[in-house]
Structure 1
Amino acid sequence: MQPNLHFFPIPISDGLSWAFGGVVICLGWFLWRLLRTVSQRIASYFLVLGLAWLGMLWGLAQTPFFVQLDAKPPRFLVIIVPPVAFVASLFLTRQGRYFLDQLPLKSLTWLHTVRVAVEVSLWYLFLEHQIPQMMTFKGYNWDILAGITAPLLVWYLQRGTPPRWVVLGWNLLALGLLINIVGMAILSAPLPFQQLNFTQPNVGVFKSSFIWLPGFVVPVVLWAHLVVIRRIYATGS
């Protein structure tokens, strides 16, 4: 079955594109401040590399680079492989693990509130026929619950040291919500392995600022979960 690509050449509205771009910039600023609490040098490296990465993705999204959907290997890998490889390198090196273990748990949890803004943005992206309804909170994407409950976990953390199972359980459940929407997004994209939503495929993430969703936002949220989960298993704190 061939996907309906009627809306693929239609650009996302400027207002929505700029609004989501603002969400990503705020996330980047928050992450920079978070990294500064441990090392100003690493935070500076992140700022330079992060801006370069976002700029490169934005530039590619303005060209026909991602339009060739039948390219092999899929060009979408350019978006996700570098950040995933970078995150993996942090966990595979002793210096990386030492740095990650110094990050404040409360800030790592606060970071997930960005998921509320992301899910609202996805809803408006659906209204512009750029993604299927399945990928919104009106469908099978409940990732907004992680963003809503994150402040509750922070409040619990501020009251003292909560049981490990509370922090671990929340992170595992929220990670499951992330995996759920990422899986739907991949299987709904008009790529050779598409399995879902042929009537309205996921074409929005190839365009404008929404290229930053798989290329930056998702890896950051995944990273935040993995840092906490590793710390609980490795250090018991």
Structure 2
Amino acid sequence: MIANLPPYISAVFALTTIATLLLFHRIIKNSDDEAIRKKANGIALVLVVWLALQAVLALNNVYNSDLDFFPPKIAIFGVWPAIITIVVLFVSAKGRRFIDSLPLVNITYLNTIRVAVEIVLYWLFLNKTIPQLMTFEGRNFDILAGLTAPFIAYFGFTKGILNQKIILAWNFISLGLLANIVINAVLSLPTPIQQFAFDQPNIALLNSPFNWLPTFIVPIVLFGHLVSIRQLLKRK
């Protein structure tokens, strides 16, 4: 936990994480494959266990200690397992069946949680736990993906007004915005590869509950874009 941080910041972020979990559960529940729909509760339970594990690691100062250790522990125990899981889903037949059954309209709406994330990041900057460059006042424009997501979902899938090229372009642009903040966040961590923000490094994401951002929310959003791009390209 971060000392002297206003409790409402942690509370809002925790609620944002729970909202992400519930929205992802709903995505699976709306799968067009009955067998996958039946697995929704089991998958949600696995994700709850994952979140609990990440909380335990952060609360026991695993991520914010020995910062000279490379690669960072949060990468080894938090980020890489999530990325490996995504890769396995895309390269395996069962994984692709799961991916291709998910509804794109729900996946697109899930991106609205990025607005709440950006607000929390701004609060963390004001409390000197991340650098300004990680906010919408700096180099982070990820909030645009969150603000435009409802319009893309409604006019692209519900009304069918937007063509697939526009929806595909939106996904690639939003993926680029995500990559931008991830790169800046990584290079602002107080680790041997730090390149930015030496006066106010990114320490929040090494502490609970904010370590859920790189270990859960970002992988979920990344997975959603990759699923959307795959499905859209297959349709095309």
Structures share fold, TM-score greater than 0.5: yes
Once residues 61 and 108 of structure 1 are traced to their aligned partners in structure 2, the CA distance between those partners, rounded to angstroms, is 29
| Counterpart in the other structure of 2:52 | 55
Q: CA deviation at 1:10?
A: 3.5
Match of residue 199 from structure 2 = 199
Q: For structure 2, which runs of at least 5 residues remain unmatched after alignment?
A: none
8 Å contact kept, 2:29–2:37: yes
What's the offset of the Cα at 1:201?
Answer: 0.5
Match of 1:46 in 2: 43
On the 8 A contact 2:111/2:145 being kept in 1, the answer is: yes
1:76 maps to: 74
Q: Distance in 1 between matches of 2:122 and 2:50?
A: 26
Instruction: Mark the CA change 1:12 to 1:83 in structure 2 (over 3 Å): closer, same or farther.
Output: farther
Unaligned 5+ segments in structure 1 are: 1-7
Contact in 1 for aligned 2:111/2:146 (Cα 8 Å): yes
Cα displacement string for residues 96-133 of structure 1 (whole angstroms, at most 9, x for unaligned residues): 11121111111010000000000000000111100000
Distance, in Å, in 2 between the alignment partners of 1:181 and 1:73 is: 19
Which letter maps to 1:62? L
Question: How far 1:74 moved relative to its partner?
Answer: 2.1
Q: Distance in 2 between matches of 1:205 and 1:12?
A: 13
Q: CA RMSD in A?
A: 1.5
Equivalents in 2 of 1:177, 1:11: separation in Å?
Answer: 31
Distance 1:10 1:199 in 2: 18
> SS state of the match for residue 210, structure 1?
coil
The alpha carbon displacement at 1:72 in A equals 3.5
Q: How does 1:106-185 map to 2 (within 5 A)?
A: 106-157=105-156, 158-160=158-160, 162-185=162-185
Tell me the secondary structure at the aligned position of residue 96 of structure 1.
Answer: helix
In the alignment of these two chains, the number of paired residues is 229
- In the alignment, is the contact (CA less than 8 A) between 1:122 and 1:136 conserved in 2? yes
Q: Residues 122 and 186 (structure 1 numbering): CA distance in 2 closer, same or farther, change over 3 Å?
A: same
Distance 1:99 1:35 in 2: 9
Identity rate, percent: 38
Partner of 2:187: 187
Q: 1:147-168 deviations in whole A, cap 9, x for unaligned?
A: 0001111121222263221111
Other-structure match for 1:32: 25
Runs of 4+ that moved beyond 6 A: none
Change (3 A) 1:80 1:20: same
Name the SS of the counterpart of 2:95 in structure 1: helix
Q: Is the 8 A contact 1:11 1:207 kept in 2?
A: no
Report the TM-score, using the length of structure 2 for normalisation. 0.93
Deviation at 1:11, TM superposition (A): 5.5
Inter-partner Cα distance in structure 1 for 2:66 and 2:168:
41
> Is the contact between residue 175 and residue 225 of structure 1 (CA under 8 Å) also seen in structure 2?
yes
Does the 8 A contact of 2:2 with 2:204 survive in 1? no
